[in-house]
Amino acid sequence: MTDFASRFLETLDSESDAFWCFVNCMRRWASGLTAQGVACKIQAAEELLRHVDPELYHHIARTCEERLLFCLRWLLLRFQRELGHEDALRVMEISALEAGPTDLAAGMLPTCREGSADSVLACPIPAGEDGPAPRRVGVPFEVLLCVALLIQHRQQLLQYQHVHDFFLFAHRLQGKVALDALRRAEGPL
Number of H helices, E strands in the chain: 10, 2
- Rounded to whole angstroms, the Cα distance separating 166 from 164 reads 5
Give the model confidence (pLDDT) of 18-49 as tens digits: 899 888 888 888 888 888 988 999 999 999 99
- Rounded to whole angstroms, the Cα distance separating 75 from 13 reads 29
Could you count the other beta carbons within 10 Å of the beta carbon of residue 130?
7
Q: Which helix (H) or strand (E) holds 123?
A: strand 122-124
Give the model confidence (pLDDT) of 44-97 as tens digits: 999 999 999 999 999 999 998 888 999 999 888 888 889 888 898 888 888 877
Distance between alpha carbon 129 and the CA centroid of its chain, in Å? 28
DSSP string, 41-66: HHHHHHHHHHHH-HHHHHHHHHH-TT
pLDDT at 160 over 60: yes
- Which position has the higher pLDDT, 180 or 125? 180
pLDDT value of position 189:
43
What is the rounded average pLDDT for all residues in the chain?
Answer: 78
